[in-house]
Structure 1
Amino acid sequence: MKPWLTYIRVIVIAVLAVIIVRTLFVTSCFIPSSGMENTLYRGEGVLVGKWSYGWRVPLQSVFGYKRLLPDDVKRGDIVVFNNPMPADTSTAVDGRELYISRCIGVPGDTLMLNSQLIAEGSDVFSPDTKALYSYPAEAEESVCDVLNSLGIKGNQLAGYTQEGNYIRSFSYYEHYLVTQRLNGKVELLPLYPEKSRKSYPFVVPGKGVPVKIYPWNAALISNMITLHEKRKSYLQGDTVYVDGKPQKEYTFSQDFYWMASNDPVNISDSRLFGFVPENHIIGKALRIWYPARKGRFMQKIQ
């Protein structure tokens, strides 16, 4: 065989090998912004494992969404995914721009957010964030009964106000549960109203699990049904209509995730585009192959 034919064969085999590896196993992307600093810096190239959560079959517009050997996204993973809310929603999912963020909410989790999904200061509420509340001393027995019925243990009195009211510390989610159970019989007042933030529980949807629709999540759920379920949905008042029928709850056909940037000022994450559906997930960011700083070559991303 002539030498030039050998060279051509080697080149063709090398190109095919690269294509196969990039298509089936590993791809790469560059960090476009400072949103993930100090974990990842702008301009760094990262390797993304396409099998991290099962291999997503390409050409979704042709074959539909399929994933071989699927696995769950873990809380804390840094994930690469397609833009869930592009300017042109007719663009195929796997043809949209790439985003990278840390997953902080998996199906079944409850996140405390304001009704616009953006908390004061652009930070995301955690269900465990604590605040102090006061209530009349004569309501102590009722409050204790509710705490016991909800299985909230170890919540001790934090003190007393000058007026003699009792003070307890509740997380945002505990406050929501206790208030619902008290049903207006006792009012839990924030001890420092100027620091209190109106937040609501948002359940991260899971496949096949009904999600209740409330006034604070109605707009988000209606948008998700339109964008990701491809069904006709609209909001009238606080009521979500799907295919012309009012809904009190909705069951989604796939899992969703809440993604957050490291930088609270950079909101190119779920605060901007809501929950990320599983069919938009590409894979887990594994290692840095093009470092922006010394000593970071092939550093594990975590």
Structure 2
Amino acid sequence: MKHALKFVMALTVTILLMLAFRALVFTVYTVRGTALEPCLVDGDRVLVNRWSYGLRTGDGRLFSYARWIGGRVGRGDLVVFNSPADTLRPVHRRETLAYYCTGVPGDTVTAENGRIVVPGKKVAIGVTPANAALIAYLYGKYEGRNARVSGGQLYVDGRRIECATFANDYYWFSSGRRSDKSDSRCFGFVPETFIIGKVIMLMYSVDGGKPVNCCLRDGRTFLLIRNP
């Protein structure tokens, strides 16, 4: 009986440590779809370092958002983040996406409606009739501000704003494929609060169309992910 109890306790501690490790250090993300081909394909299991940009804590309800030992996303990083398009659930429970960062605060990127500057904490953007609606959207959705556009002018919390400043850093993500527009051309800027971590390794790959005994893909195990 004593040995059985020790075994159960050891197993419980091991499981708790594994869960803590997954939540606080590394996590495995399953690639879905073809947006990142040929670098990553459907069924790849990749290792994500949750400390790459600082460990994200707080779910916005019981505890406020925070970053432990924060760092900024770099151009070319392959990043996992929560989907901005999923608005029905809390941020930390939303679908996870993986794309390349192609725009950091202060960069100019090309969107469907023209060239725009990526907003950030240290980036002040002049308000024009062309970008007023976008800035109002970011203020209302991610910054908790009351923003509206009238006559091409931006009004925030009842005051007209000619130069916009931000409480968050934002990033622009790309699939790397011009024909695949499921990236920021679809869901727009991604705030820092949505960032989970950086993809650092391809652990293994599963071909879902094959039987279990031969579903692992050859040559796709323990490969380091490098910036393009």
Name the residue aligned to 2:211. Answer: none
Q: Which runs of 4+ in 1 moved over 3 A?
A: none
Name the residue aligned to 2:168. Answer: 254
Counterpart-to-counterpart distance in 1, 2:63 and 2:77: 28
Name the residue aligned to 2:85. Answer: 85
Counterpart-to-counterpart distance in 2, 1:7 and 1:267: 52
**Is 1:260–1:270's contact at 8 Å kept on the other side of the alignment?**
yes
Name the residue aligned to 1:103. Answer: 101
Counterpart-to-counterpart distance in 2, 1:289 and 1:37: 16
Counterpart-to-counterpart distance in 2, 1:32 and 1:85: 16
1:275 shift after superposition = 1.1
- When Rg is computed on C-alpha atoms for both structures, the one with the higher figure is 1
1:114 shift after superposition = 4.0
Name the residue aligned to 1:74. Answer: 74
1:262 shift after superposition = 2.3
SS of equivalent residue, structure 1 residue 61: coil
Counterpart-to-counterpart distance in 2, 1:33 and 1:241: 40
1:209 shift after superposition = 2.8
Query: Which sections of structure 2, spanning at least 5 residues, go unmatched?
Result: 207-216
Q: TM-score, normalised by structure 1?
A: 0.68
Q: Which has the higher contact order (CA 8 A, sep 6+)?
A: 1
Counterpart-to-counterpart distance in 1, 2:112 and 2:57: 36
Residue identity over aligned pairs, in percent, reads 39
**Is 1:222–1:234's contact at 8 Å kept on the other side of the alignment?**
yes
Letter in 2 for 1:111: V
SS of equivalent residue, structure 1 residue 56: strand
Counterpart-to-counterpart distance in 1, 2:125 and 2:109: 14
**Is 1:220–1:274's contact at 8 Å kept on the other side of the alignment?**
no
Query: Which sections of structure 1, spanning at least 5 residues, go unmatched?
Result: 116-198
RMSD, aligned α-carbons: 1.6
Give 1:20-169 correspondences, 5 Å limit: 20-88=20-88, 91-115=89-113
Counterpart-to-counterpart distance in 1, 2:195 and 2:87: 19
SS of equivalent residue, structure 1 residue 283: strand
Give 1:167-246 correspondences, 5 Å limit: 199-200=114-115, 202-246=116-160
In the alignment, is residue 287 of structure 1 matched against residue 201 of structure 2?
A: yes
Counterpart-to-counterpart distance in 1, 2:71 and 2:151: 38
Structure with the higher helix share, 1 or 2: 1
Q: TM-score, normalised by structure 2?
A: 0.88
**Is 2:111–2:185's contact at 8 Å kept on the other side of the alignment?**
no
SS of equivalent residue, structure 1 residue 63: coil
1:65 shift after superposition = 1.4
SS of equivalent residue, structure 2 residue 19: helix
Letter in 1 for 2:127: I
